[in-house]
Amino acid sequence: MGCMTICRNQSNVLDGTCSGIGCCEVEIPERVSNFNFTVKSFNNHTKVWSFNPCGYAFVVKKDKFSFSSAYLSNPQFNETVPMVLDWTIRDKRCENPANKSDYICGGNSTCYSPTNGYGYRCKCDEGYDGNPYLPTGCKDVNECRHPNLNNCTSPKRCINTEGNYTCSCPKWHSGDGRKDGESCTLNLGFVNKIAIAGGVGFIVLLVSISWMYLIIKQRKIIKLRERFFRQNGGTLLCQQLSSQENSVETAKIFSAEELKKATNNYDENLIIGQGGFGTVYKGLLSDDRVVAIKKSKLVDKSQIEQFINEVLVLSQINHRNVVKLLGCCLETEVPLLVYEFISNGTLFEHIHHKGSLSPISWETRLKIAGETAEALSYLHSAASPPIIHRDVKSSNILLDGNYTAKVSDFGASRLIPLHQIEVATLVQGTLGYLDPEYLQTSQLTVKSDVYSFGVILVELLTGEKALSFDRPEEQRNLAMYFLSAIKEDRLFEVLEQNLGIERNEKQLKEVANLASRCIKVKGEDRPNMKEVAAELEGLRKIDKHSWVNVGSNSEETEKLLGETSDPYKHDATINSSVVYDSMKDDAIVDFDDAR
The set of catalytic residues is 391
Q: Report the alpha-carbon distance of residue 455 to residue 518 in Å, rounded.
A: 8
Report the distance separating Cα 543 and Cα 500, nearest Å: 13
**Of 402, 407, 341, 417, which is closest to residue 378 (Cα–Cα)?**
407
Half-sphere exposure of 259 (CA within 13 A, CB side): 26
CA–CA distance, 111 with 120 (Å, rounded to integer): 7
Neighbouring residues of 553: CB distance < 8 A, sequence distance ≥ 6? none
How buried is 582 (Cβ within 10 angstroms: 0-12 exposed, 13-18 middle, 19+ buried)?
Answer: buried
Give the Cβ contact number of residue 43 at 10 Å.
8
Class of residue 323 by CB neighbours under 10 A (exposed 0-12, middle 13-18, buried 19+): buried
- What is the DSSP code string of 458-491? HHHHH---SB-TTS-GGGSBHHHHHHHHHHTT-H
Distance CA 147, CA 153 (A): 10
Buried-state track 480-508, b at ≥16 Cβ within 10 A, e below 16: bbbbbbbbeeebeebbbeebeeeebeebb
Which residue, 380, 372, 369, 393, is CA-closest to 539? 369
Which of 30, 18, 115, 12 minimizes the C-alpha distance to 63?
18
Binding residue per annotation — 295? yes
Burial 55-65 (b: 16+ CB within 10 A, else e): eeeeeeeeeee
Contact yes or no for 223/302 (Cβ under 8 A):
no
Judged by DSSP in three states, 273 sits in strand
Cβ atoms within 10 Å of 198's Cβ, excluding its own:
10
Residue 443 CA to residue 423 CA, distance in Å, equals 6
Indicate the annotated binding residues for ATP: 295
Indicate the annotated binding residues: 295
